[in-house]
Amino acid sequence: MYPLKDRGVPPAEHQAAQQPDWESVRIFLEVVRHGSFRSAADSLKLSVNALRRRIDDLEQQAGTPLMTRHVDGIRTTAEGERMFLTAQQMEAASFDLLRGLGQAAPAISGEVRIGVTEGLGTFWLAPRLIEFQRAYPKLLVDLHCAMRSADVLRLEADAAVQLTKPTAPDLKVVKLGRLHSMPFASRDYIDTYGAPQSVEDIRTRHRIVLQIAEQTGTQQLYDENAPGQAQPGFVALRTNVSSSHVWAVAKGAGIGWVPTYVPAIGGPMVALDVDLRFQFDIWLTYHADVARIPRVRRLIDWIVESFDPRRYPWFRDEFIHPDELAKEYRGGPLINLFAGFAWPEQRREASR
């Protein structure tokens, strides 16, 4: 097919045949809606002269004036009114197209990796993951629980939850909340050995269960609070993971320091009001570049929500006694947060 100019088309008709670009049409819509170039320029963050040039080009392409200028603003001509109605239809169609593309976009899929301490991963995030997985069923979640902090700079994880604050300058760091730890014992233990009344009472008359692991600094805490005391004969069991530690306390091996929310899952455990509590800030870390990946961004947002102190009071900065947590918590029965972990007698009590 020959170009228009080679077929004897007059220049005026050739110009009228040009297609106006959508940006000029969009500016025309804004000028008409605002009633003046000045107001439209303020809204679009463009200069008045830039808007005038766009409208002049659009009128040249249309081959007719679309608006007239007055001291109090603009008025559309008959042709401009028809252009305005058509432009509105074009705008609506473009919105429909964008919505359709959003619905047609592939669901978020792939793999996301979380590095987290063994206790928070096993007892807290794992029970919550069902919510995340149902929202994004095509995602594979790799939950790596270990007391050694995952190195997100070396891509060992997309995001890491840890008890030591990262210091690398290239990382994003978010404080999620605070973990409060206090001494607990099982009811069987108390029935057998009695409840300690003081720290000195624990040292001289009781046995403890000790978790020695990275990030917690437990060995240092032991040395500071039991200086010179040999562990044999005083420490009944020593382990490196939280799950073994919790189960040992719950089964009566000795007194152990566990997070204040653990009684909801730890069987017949009793909080001991001995003045020896520990606090650990909980940190989320990730690389800013990785956070731009949609599936990782969803993961990060979900982790932050999972530790929200407003929703889960045991992660607040201030200490709340375990006996008061049920009153502070605004959700359903605490036992429901840990389905699958609780002892049978706890489930019977929660169902009454």
Assign 3-class secondary structure to 59-92. HHHHCCCCEEEECCEEEECHHHHHHHHHHHHHHH
The tokens of 62 are what?
Answer: 């249309």
Is the confidence at residue 7, as pLDDT, over 70?
A: no
According to the model, what pLDDT value does residue 184 have? 94
According to the model, what pLDDT value does residue 130 have? 84
Is the confidence at residue 252, as pLDDT, over 50?
A: yes
According to the model, what pLDDT value does residue 92 have? 72
The tokens of 304 are what?
Answer: 């932050």
158 vs 295: CA distance, rounded Å: 10
Averaged pLDDT, 79-106: 70
Looking at CATH, the fold of the domain delimited by 111-351 is given as D-Maltodextrin-Binding Protein; domain 2 (3.40.190)
Per-residue pLDDT band for 213 (boundaries 50, 70, 90) equals confident
Per-residue pLDDT band for 119 (boundaries 50, 70, 90) equals confident
Question: Which stretches within the chain are classed as H helix?
Answer: 11-16, 22-34, 37-44, 48-62, 78-104, 118-119, 126-135, 187-193, 199-205, 218-225, 242-250, 294-306, 322-328, 344-351
According to the model, what pLDDT value does residue 20 have? 67
* DSSP for 239-269, written as a single string: ESSHHHHHHHHHTTS-BEEEETTGGGTSSSE
Looking at CATH, the fold of the domain delimited by 4-104 is given as Arc Repressor Mutant, subunit A (1.10.10)
Is the confidence at residue 195, as pLDDT, over 90?
A: yes
Averaged pLDDT, 87-109: 64
* Half-sphere exposure for 268 (CA within 13 Å, toward CB): 13
Averaged pLDDT, 254-263: 87
Angstrom CA distances, 340 to 133, 336, 337, stand at 18, 9, 9
Diameter over CA atoms, the chain: 110
Angstrom CA distances, 245 to 140, 251, 296, stand at 29, 10, 32
According to the model, what pLDDT value does residue 292 have? 86
Least confident residue range of 8-12, 148-152, 250-254: 8-12
Per-residue pLDDT band for 140 (boundaries 50, 70, 90) equals very high
Three-state secondary structure call for residue 215: coil
According to the model, what pLDDT value does residue 18 have? 56
Domain definitions of the chain by residue range: 4-104, 111-351
Is the confidence at residue 5, as pLDDT, over 90?
A: no
Q: pLDDT for 41-79, tens place per residue? A: 887 888 999 999 999 999 998 889 999 988 888 999 999
300 vs 289: CA distance, rounded Å: 13
pTM of this structure: 0.64
Is the confidence at residue 24, as pLDDT, over 50?
A: yes
According to the model, what pLDDT value does residue 23 have? 85
Residue that the structure tokens 């009781």 belong to: 206
Phi-psi region of 45 (alpha: psi -120 to 50; beta: other; left: phi over 0): left
